Structure 1
Amino acid sequence: MNFPAELLYTKDHEWISFEDGYALVGITDFAQKELGDIVYLDIPSLNTMVNKEDVFGTVEAVKTVSDLFMPITGQILEVNPVIDKNPELINQEPYATWLVKVAPPDDATDKSALLSAEEYKEIIGH
């Protein structure tokens, strides 16, 4: 299982990558393996402000439906257009296939609740 060290993680199995003025959010390799074959994503919160740890959408797999939780407070700027037609890419490349692009309200984003790769591995028992 893959845990890129440059990413930060949540206890709810999302990853986040901070870029220049925005962040990309996706689900972890562990999460996609637990969910199984992903068939659909519903992210209705485009252009809205979503608070940290609030649900911003759902991911539907053959076996189950699971909520997606926002790692930081921010406005959803974009939903990855590729996943609408090809949600299975999340199973194939979970760290290359981001779900949403988020604009934090300012540069003072609280990262203290986010986990390093090592901390995340401990939580999931790897």
Structure 2
Amino acid sequence: MKIYSADARKVDYMNVEQNPYLGTIDFAPDLYEVFKLNGKYYSLGIVAANKEYGAANELRRFNVEKEKSYHENDITCPICGYVDYDSWEEDDENEEYQCGRCGAILEVTRNVQVTYSAKVKELPKIWE
């Protein structure tokens, strides 16, 4: 399978073969599966129906040893660093989450912080 970059400044999703060429692999991963090419880790984001070519994102912060990320504003994959900026759409009851880049299954806990604001409704009585 020929692999093209999906990290280019202007990615051509309709003509993937116009993107920078990364190399060839001897297997055909499915979407979001991780593979190694030229010493770097990638996740396949686009694949042709015939699986002859695809486009992949480099996983620059890929680390299978890292197990946790703490107190992020959005769900952040500890393994590849993918940030889901639509985390607020996740169901509160759903404790499992699949990373949108590397496919890792994560256990997610929503942490809620409550803050208060106040404005004057009625001034206090003042004795002079």
- The higher relative CO (CA closer than 8 Å, separation ≥ 6) is in 1
Higher helix proportion: 1
Higher strand proportion: 1
Task: Give me the TM-score of the superposition, normalised by structure 1.
Answer: 0.23
Task: Give me the TM-score of the superposition, normalised by structure 2.
Answer: 0.22
Query: Which is greater in Rg?
Result: 2
